[in-house]
């Protein structure tokens, strides 16, 4: 009976709770057929809300606990409605030390598999509401990849042309994904670093009258995380009866740290927030501010920047979104991440937990596991996993992962007589 109540709740309650954009909840709920269904559900609603269930609506959703096959996934109007409400999964004792609990919030459950889906929806919807982005316009942005993929997704759904500026070193599979989504990708020279791709996007915007997302400066970025990511975490741990003691994140734009961090600290004042950055590019650790133009964009590359393998983290400047965060209130610890530790932890998550995340996710989890080693017994630690490992096939994360069979695999292949594909030999189809 409970599964049935959950199923009814998941499909009917959102009709009132999450109206289409542009319509108030009251107007959406006044449809007679929906009100009739909701009235019929009142007894089940009361009971179901006392049990774990998923309330659809960004920032207040829990992942469904209904049995598989119960159809609790919901029906959605478009791909952008799938953004948010990402799951939290516990890390086993194969990686987590005893006496503490370590969890991961898997942002690769967003529709285009990264936390940047939130940013893209936030910035484009905000620009539409303000009248800055109008039908027929072109959207342009500078990105290491995930933001570009997310922006291309939203543009495809909304009908905007999309141009992405991306520095040469970032993984080529990201370029292909953006082009698959209809975007035009402008590759900028490696020597120009992140500031080079930003300047290129600004030039194109100025020349053509395009809409520039300004992900590194746009307040809509962090405000969306304050309204969604943070409340999701609060709701999930509250429903579980667990008190979150530590939250670990890195930064690309700083939106997750700034926005979700504000929401979390407001709800859990004694929460410890650990902010990670690459050891090789300790921009925050340096204490040196980024020189800025009048619009907040970087004027030059930060003197403390050095190349690092954690793609998506820490461009060669401190983002304005991060700089504007109340650091003294939010950041309890700054954690430097060695590049090899980020790569190795991402590999360990895949091999031991079945969680396929990118190098930045490996870096965040490394900081979380190191924090867990020194945390008091009973601590509950959450790490953000920003994206999927599939974005990194051409990077050091997969450098030692072969496509061809190794000796052990060849031995297994030869252990039965048929369908053998052995290098240097004719294929064997049947014994």
Strand order in the sheet with 101-106: 88-90, 101-106, 380-385, 246-249, 272-278, 333-337
Note if 92 is an active site residue: no
Decide: 260 and 225 in contact? Cβ < 8 Å. Answer: yes
Count other C-beta atoms under 10 Å from residue 20's C-beta.
9
* Diameter of the chain measured on Cα atoms: 74
Count of positions (residues) in the chain: 431
Q: Are 217 and 321 in contact (CB under 8 A)?
A: yes
Structure tokens that stand for 116 in this block: 């940047």
Q: Is 116 part of the annotated catalytic residue set?
A: yes
Give the alpha-carbon dihedral of 80, 82, 84, 87, to 10 degrees: -160
The SS3 of residue 65 is coil
Within 8 A by CB and 6+ apart from 391, the residues are 113, 114, 145, 146, 171, 173, 174, 177, 311, 358
Let me know the angle formed at the C-alpha of 248 by 243 and 249, rounded to the nearest 5 degrees: 135
**Nearest-5° Cα angle at 425, 424 to 428:** 150
Give me the catalytic one of 116, 193, 200, 320: 116
Three-state DSSP class for residue 342: helix
Candidates 114, 171, 360, 379; catalytic one:
360
Decide if 229 contacts 264 (C-beta within 8 A). no
Task: Name the residues annotated as catalytic.
Answer: 116, 360
């Amino acid at each position: 009976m409970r599964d049935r109540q959950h199923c009814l709740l998941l499909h009917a309650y959102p009709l009132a709770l999450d109206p289409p954009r542009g319509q108030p909840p009251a107007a959406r709920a006044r449809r007679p057929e929906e009100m009739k269904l909701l009235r019929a559900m009142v007894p089940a609603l009361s009971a179901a809300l006392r049990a774990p269930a998923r309330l659809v609506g960004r920032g207040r959703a829990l992942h469904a606990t209904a049995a598989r096959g119960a159809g609790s996934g919901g029906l959605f109007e478009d791909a952008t409605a799938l953004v948010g409400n990402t799951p939290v999964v516990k890390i086993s004792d194969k990686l987590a030390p005893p006496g503490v609990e370590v969890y991961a919030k898997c942002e690769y459950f967003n529709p285009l598999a990264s936390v940047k889906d939130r940013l893209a929806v936030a910035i484009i919807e905000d620009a539409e509401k303000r009248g800055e982005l109008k039908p027929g316009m072109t959207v342009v942005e500078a990105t290491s990849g995930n933001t570009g993929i997310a922006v291309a997704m939203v543009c495809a759904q909304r009908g905007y042309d999309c141009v992405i500026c991306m520095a040469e070193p970032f993984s080529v599979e990201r370029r292909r994904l953006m082009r698959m989504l209809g975007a035009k990708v402008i590759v900028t020279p490696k020597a120009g670093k992140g500031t080079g791709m930003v300047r290129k996007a600004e030039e194109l915007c100025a020349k053509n009258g395009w809409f520039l997302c300004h992900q590194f400066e746009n307040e809509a970025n962090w405000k969306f995380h304050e309204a969604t990511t943070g409340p999701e975490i609060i709701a999930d741990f509250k429903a579980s009866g667990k008190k979150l003691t530590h939250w670990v994140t890195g930064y690309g734009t700083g939106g997750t740290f700034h926005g979700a961090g504000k929401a979390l600290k407001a709800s859990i004042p004694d929460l410890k927030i650990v902010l990670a950055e690459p050891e090789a590019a300790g921009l925050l650790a340096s204490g040196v501010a980024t020189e800025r133009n009048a619009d907040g964009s970087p004027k030059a590359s930060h003197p403390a920047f050095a190349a690092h393998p954690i793609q998506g983290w820490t461009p060669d400047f401190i983002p304005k979104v991060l700089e504007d965060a109340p650091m003294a209130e939010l950041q309890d610890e700054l954690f430097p991440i060695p590049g090899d530790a980020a790569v190795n932890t991402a590999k360990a998550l895949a091999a031991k937990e079945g969680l396929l995340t990118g190098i930045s996710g490996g870096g965040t989890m490394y900081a979380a596991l190191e924090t867990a080693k020194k945390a008091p017994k009973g601590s509950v630690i959450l790490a953000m996993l920003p994206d999927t490992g599939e974005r990194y096939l051409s990077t050091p994360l997969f450098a030692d992962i072969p496509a061809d069979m190794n000796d052990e695999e060849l031995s297994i292949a030869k252990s039965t007589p048929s369908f053998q594909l052995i290098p240097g030999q004719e294929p064997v189809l049947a014994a």
